Chain A
Amino acid sequence: MITTNKAVLLVGTSPLYAELNHLMVERGYQVLTLAEAMAEPELIELAVEVNSVDLQAKKRQVRELDDLLPPNVPIITTSLAITATEVASWTQHPERVCGFGTLVPLVERELIEIAPALQTELDTIQATEGFFQSLGKATETVNDEVGLVFPRILTLIINEATFTLMEKAATATDIDIAMKKGTNYPYGPLEWADRIGLDEIFAISRGLQRDLAEERYRTAPLLRKLVLAGRVGVRSGQGFYTYEEKVGVEA
Chain B
Amino acid sequence: MSIKTVGVIGAGTMGAGIALVCARKGHQVMLLDANQAVLDKALVYLESILTKDVEKSKISEQEMAETLELVHLVSEIEQLADCDIVIEAVPERLDLKKSIFSQLSVICREDALLLTNTSSISITEIAGGLSHPERILGFHFFNPAPVMPLVEVIRGKKSSEENVEVAYRFAQELGKVPVLVTDTPGFIVNRIARPYYNEALRIMGDHVAGVEQIDRIMKLAGGFKMGPFELQDMIGIDINFATTKSIYTDFFHEGRFKPSRIQQQMVQSGSLGRKTGEGFYDYNQ
Chain B, interface residues (CB within 8 Å), range? 35 or more
Known contacts A145-B208, A157-B195, A161-B192; A168 and B150 CB within 8 A of each other: no
Instruction: Mark out the residues of chain B between 240 and 275 whose CB falls within 8 Å of any chain A CB in the assembled complex.
Output: 254-256, 258
Question: Contacts A150-B218, A152-B203, A179-B193: A140 and B177 contacting too (C-beta < 8 A)?
Answer: no
**Number of residue pairs spanning A and B whose beta carbons lie under 8 angstroms apart:** 142
B189 contacts the other chain (Cβ, under 8 Å)? yes
**Complexed CA–CA distance, A160 and B149 (Å):** 23
Tell me whether A61 is interfacial, beta carbon within 8 Å: no
Name which residue of chain B comes closest to A108, CB basis.
B223
Bound Cα distance A14, B220 (Å): 22
Q: What residue of chain A has the Cβ atom nearest to residue B258's Cβ?
A: A216
Type the 1/0 row for B207-234, where 1 means its CB is closer than 8 Å to any CB of A: 1110001101110111111101000000
Is the CB–CB distance between A216 and B255 below 8 Å? yes
Segment of A23-31, A110-118, A230-238 engaged in the interface with chain B: A110-118
Instruction: Give the nearest-CB partner of A161 in chain B.
Output: B192
Given known contacts A111-B216, A179-B189, A181-B149, A153 and B203 CB-to-CB distance under 8 angstroms: yes
Q: Contact check: which of A157, A169, A186 meets B184 at CB < 8 Å?
A: A169
Q: Point out the residue from B179, B208, B256 that lies within 8 Å of A177, measured CB to CB.
A: B179
Contact A149 B203 (CB under 8 A): yes
B256 and A215 contacting across the interface, CB-CB below 8 Å: yes
Residues on the B chain within 8 Å of A244, using CB: none
Instruction: Output the residue of A144, A159, A167, A175 with the most chain B CB within 10 A.
Output: A175
A157-B192, A215-B256 given as contacts; is B181 within 8 A of A149 (CB)? no
Q: Verify A150–B182 contact, CB threshold 8 A.
A: no
User: Which residues of chain B are near A174, meaning CB under 8 Å?
Assistant: 179-181, 188
Give residues of chain A (140-156) contacting chain B, Cβ–Cβ below 8 Å: 140, 142-145, 148-150, 152-154, 156
Contacts of B148 in A (CB 8 A): 181-182
CA distance A140 to B216 in the complex (A): 9
Supposing A169-B182, A175-B188, A216-B255 touch, asked if A110 and B220 sit within 8 A by C-beta, the answer is yes
A138-B220 contact in complex given A149-B208, A169-B184, A182-B142, C-beta closer than 8 Å = yes
Inside 8 A of A171's CB, which chain B residues have their CB? 180
Contact pick for B214, options A110, A112, A149, CB 8 Å: A149
Given A160-B256, A179-B188, A182-B142, CB of A149 within 8 Å of CB of B217? yes
The complex places the Cα of A94 from the Cα of B200 at a distance, in Å, of 29
Number of interface residues of A (CB under 8 A): 48
Please, how many angstroms separate the alpha-carbon atoms of A40 and B194 in the complex? 50
Interface string of B140-152 (1 = CB under 8 A from A): 0010000011101
Residues of A within 8 A of B222 (CB): 150, 153-154, 186
The answer, yes or no, to whether A89 is at the interface (CB within 8 Å) is: no
Q: Provide the residues of chain B in CB contact with A109, threshold 8 Å.
A: 220-221
Q: Across the two chains, which residue of chain A brings its CB closest to B204? A: A149
Establish whether residues A178 and B221, one from each chain, have CB atoms under 8 Å apart when the complex forms: no
Q: Give 17 pairs: A residue, B residue, CB < 8 Å, sorted on A.
A: A111-B220, A113-B217, A142-B217, A145-B206, A154-B222, A156-B256, A169-B187, A169-B188, A171-B180, A174-B181, A175-B188, A179-B192, A182-B189, A183-B193, A186-B225, A187-B223, A215-B255
New A-B contacts (7) at CB < 8 Å, excluding given A157-B192, A179-B188, A183-B142? A138-B220, A140-B209, A143-B208, A150-B218, A174-B180, A178-B179, A181-B149
Which residues from chain A sit less than 8 Å from chain B, CB to CB? 102, 108-113, 138, 140, 142-145, 148-150, 152-154, 156-157, 159-161, 163-164, 167-171, 174-175, 177-179, 181-187, 189, 214-216, 218
